[in-house]
Structure 1
């Protein structure tokens, strides 16, 4: 496992997983439309970042038209992800909606292979397979049980595809701009996309309860600042595939939180699936170390035979 400075990468990854696990709970608690939740979530996040933007103003002003377009594209797909995925939570359960996020690493591995020629080791693929099987088990008993649920499931699938595109663009862009500038411009772009969508659709920007405004702020601070912003920063050190695999922990955390806070029941399939997802995640995140250990053994064994 790589390190970020002197901190193991697993630590910020785990913090991010816990943070994004709260996202579906907050969405369920709010009665506001998904497009409004998404807009204010990202708007408040951008506002929270403003006090720290001064050291990055020169970089912002020097952004080329091409880079600005790519950052806006990333923001567009992030907004599309939130719109579809948060909308799915209005139609199906937390476990069903978050389980489909397990498709994200599949989309990203395929995309990274064709776009960046990025290869994934067999050991990492095995860990990914175990995690995905576990994630599927979490929502097995609930996916597609009714027409409404099916629509919710489909929204989550397309939302997962959208966030995969967002992550693949991000993997390239954080090598060209600082992670702070990347996150700020992407969040601001996504806010603009949401605002235009709400204007066109005639969705009111005001008139929401104090509880809803509190949830909008919670969505900005917890899953966005300590989740997405943290993941964007980590793209400097690990691949989009690793980030997406880590997010497989979200169905586990979200399902547990839904059980405790929303009263959504968990079956034995979901419990076993959660354990498998965590195990697969551990295998994937340690793939590089296991590969290094195996290579070291091969290098050492011939020396033993000589002695």
Structure 2
């Protein structure tokens, strides 16, 4: 499932598809009446169920992992589970605009982490694009931020969930250097779902007895924002730097707010639409120049050429 030759146009198209896909996540969660931990668990288990037909093709890669890689896969899955648990819970306490706009802090967290861990630097135009997008996102959510009651708790949960997914993204960036997209996604989703299952058992949440409508929402979450969103972004981590991929969340408040306006009847002012245009422009600047911020090649040691070096791929 890896492309042999990098085509920037193809990657940008897939990136946009991923942004649209993840924007439906908040809508589906708001439609469901199940506990958020149950929603997240079945979302991931059903995703892996849909991926099973490909498992035989990748049977060797699925189990050809070092103990160190298994350990970091577990950590990545734990962070993804924590992200879903906290962020989905925030959607029950605050508006879609407020919850998703806080996610725009993710690329800042990832950029800082990439700099310290991978020595990845952002270009000036990438920083400008990020600033434009974050400023526009802040405008979108400004009218919905409420510093009291359950809304404040919802905002705090979204912030903690953002930190969790940033850590997940940084771990994934390193692991994807040596693990193909399918085994990485399959095991991360399975691990995250299992952590959520243990949480549901501890909380006494029911695993059965849901109406057909709920199962339909679980399936939609597996197909749209997970397969065409998270899976796609994890696949792109091998071809784009982690900060550029994490910038996808800056487009989510725009599309999610529009969807909430149409489908959930949440208010959306004209100035928020204008801010949305600025967000999309900032995201476009970032993804257009995101490939220029990759980690530089290490200098060869004395007597060694670039062809002599091999990637260990472990963290």
TM-score for the superposition, normalised by structure 2: 0.89
1:174–1:288 Cα change, 3 Å: closer
Distance 1:176 1:132 in 2: 32
5+ residue gaps, structure 1: 292-307
Of 94, 97, 100, the residue aligned with 2:99 is 97
Q: CA deviation digits over 1:48-68, x for unaligned, max 9?
A: 111101121112222111101
Q: Check the 8 A contact 1:25/1:257 in 2, yes or no.
A: yes
Q: CA deviation digits over 1:214-245, x for unaligned, max 9?
A: 10000000000000011111111001111111
Of 226, 229, 242, the residue aligned with 1:227 is 229
Give, in angstroms, the shift of residue 11 of structure 1: 0.2
Q: Check the 8 A contact 2:244/2:287 in 1, yes or no.
A: yes
- Does residue 257 of structure 1 match 2:259? yes
Distance 1:209 1:101 in 2: 31
Task: State the match for 2:122 in structure 1.
Answer: 120
Distance 1:255 1:171 in 2: 29
Number of equivalenced pairs:
289
Task: State the match for 2:307 in structure 1.
Answer: none
Q: CA deviation digits over 1:166-207, x for unaligned, max 9?
A: 000000001111111000000000010000101111111112
Q: Give the helix-richer structure, 1 or 2.
A: 1
Q: CA deviation digits over 1:113-137, x for unaligned, max 9?
A: 1111111111100110000000111
In the TM superposition, structure 1's runs of 4+ consecutive aligned residues that sit over 2 Å from their partners are 3-8, 286-291
Q: Check the 8 A contact 1:137/1:272 in 2, yes or no.
A: no
Task: State the match for 2:280 in structure 1.
Answer: 278
1:114–1:268 Cα change, 3 Å: same
Task: State the match for 1:305 in structure 2.
Answer: none
Task: State the match for 1:40 in structure 2.
Answer: 42
Give, in angstroms, the shift of residue 112 of structure 1: 0.6
Give, in angstroms, the shift of residue 246 of structure 1: 2.3
Distance 2:7 2:277 in 1: 30
Task: State the match for 2:312 in structure 1.
Answer: none
Task: State the match for 2:303 in structure 1.
Answer: none
Q: Check the 8 A contact 1:179/1:233 in 2, yes or no.
A: yes
Pairing of 1:178-257 with structure 2 (within 5 A): 178-257=180-259
How large is the RMSD of aligned CA atoms in angstroms? 1.6
Pairing of 1:1-150 with structure 2 (within 5 A): 4-5=6-7, 7-150=9-152
Of 153, 172, 180, the residue aligned with 1:151 is 153
Distance 1:186 1:95 in 2: 28
Give, in angstroms, the shift of residue 290 of structure 1: 9.5
TM-score for the superposition, normalised by structure 1: 0.91
Give, in angstroms, the shift of residue 8 of structure 1: 2.7
Distance 1:132 1:7 in 2: 24
Give the stretch that moved more between structures: 273-282 or 190-199: 273-282
5+ residue gaps, structure 2: 294-315
